[in-house]
């Protein structure tokens, strides 16, 4: 079986990546291989056409290949809350929480991930046209096997962009190199109310797989839950994964990033997430009406979420 992730050298989807690398899928009887497919909408299209069996990505982005959630379901969460960071170039002397710095700036963001930044800024009172805020792809981050976060940090360092909206690894690299300043961390309380539940890191599969291989869907959820438990018990296990898959600097950082994320490691998908994601998707124009919880989530798997 194949599991697609849209960004590999990252903490965003580490529970799914670690479930492969630390053997938790194998313990559940699943032979799962990782495949990096960027951007996330391309990963979901691969799910739709049967090229991959699971996608570990942003939950709302499933709508890119499954309009109104027809044909796919979320199996569980990898972690809770919207998990991207707004980082601006250090030369701009931005302060945490001061979004005025985005006016007149070019901010790099991945396709479908950029929709969340649009929502954050609009809800904070900005008009992207009036305030001359350009949210655009990161130069050099266009092919299917790119590690977006590292590409964003590199583009910021080279001043090809003024800021980026990306994962915690990109943020940490940029800050440690002295080229970036953290402005917004939604998951830890920054930004306008309500944006926490715009999306979450999740695991998704098609209705077809859930119907024809229900044991595999359940085993995948058990593997994610077991991985979350193992990382909570020993976050340094993330370093084992990093040393196998990441460059040296990022391999040394991943355990600390996972340690910070542990309070959000919960496989449950709550009604509040689906309601918040519906509101976000409606405003973003990627959904044309509310979709019931049962149409989005494989809710028969709920008992497996409990740790």
Q: Residue 144's closest CA among 43, 72, 242, 59?
A: 43
Fold equal for 2-81+199-305 and 85-195:
yes
The structural architecture, per CATH, of the domain 2-81+199-305 is 3-Layer(aba) Sandwich (3.40)
- Write down the pLDDT at residue 140: 77
Distance (Å, rounded) from C-alpha 35 to C-alpha 52? 8
CATH topology of domain 85-195: D-Maltodextrin-Binding Protein; domain 2 (3.40.190)
- Write down the pLDDT at residue 203: 98
Distance (Å, rounded) from C-alpha 91 to C-alpha 172? 17
- Write down the pLDDT at residue 145: 62
- Write down the pLDDT at residue 142: 65
Stated pTM of the model? 0.96
Helix (H, G, I), strand (E, B) or coil at 120: helix
Peptide bond preceding 245: is omega within 30 degrees of 0, i.e. cis?
no
Residues in the chain where the model's pLDDT stays below 50: none
Domain ranges of the chain: 2-81+199-305, 85-195
- Which residues contact residue 12 at a Cβ distance below 8 angstroms, ignoring those fewer than 6 apart? 83, 149, 167, 168, 169, 201
């Amino acid at each position: 079986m194949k599991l697609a992730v849209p960004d590999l050298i990252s903490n965003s989807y580490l529970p799914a990546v670690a479930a492969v690398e630390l053997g938790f899928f194998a313990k559940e009887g699943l032979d799962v291989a990782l495949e990096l497919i960027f951007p996330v909408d391309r990963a979901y299209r691969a799910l739709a056409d049967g090229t991959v069996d699971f996608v570990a990505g942003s939950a709302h982005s499933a709508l890119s290949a499954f309009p109104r959630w027809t044909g796919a379901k979320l199996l569980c969460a990898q972690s809770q809350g919207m998990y991207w960071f707004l980082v601006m170039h250090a030369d701009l002397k931005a302060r945490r929480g001061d979004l005025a710095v985005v006016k007149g700036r070019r901010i790099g963001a991945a396709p479908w991930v950029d929709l969340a930044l649009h929502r954050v800024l609009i809800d904070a009172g900005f008009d992207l046209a009036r305030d001359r805020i350009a949210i655009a792809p990161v130069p050099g981050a266009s092919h299917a096997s790119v590690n977006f976060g590292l590409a964003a940090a590199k583009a910021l360092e080279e001043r090809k962009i003024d800021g980026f909206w990306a994962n915690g690894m990109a943020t940490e690299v940029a800050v440690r190199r002295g080229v970036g300043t953290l402005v917004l961390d939604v998951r830890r309380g920054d930004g306008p109310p309500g944006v926490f539940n715009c999306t979450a890191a999740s695991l998704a599969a098609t209705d077809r797989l859930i119907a024809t291989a229900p044991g595999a869907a359940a085993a995948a959820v058990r593997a994610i839950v077991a991985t979350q438990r193992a990382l909570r018990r020993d976050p340094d296990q993330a370093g084992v994964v990093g040393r196998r898959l990441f460059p040296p600097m990022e391999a040394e950082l991943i355990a600390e990033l996972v340690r910070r994320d542990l309070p959000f490691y919960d496989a449950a998908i709550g009604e509040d997430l689906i309601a918040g994601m519906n509101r976000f998707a409606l405003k973003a124009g990627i959904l044309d009406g509310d979709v019931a919880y049962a149409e989005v989530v494989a809710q028969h798997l709920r008992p497996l979420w409990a740790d």
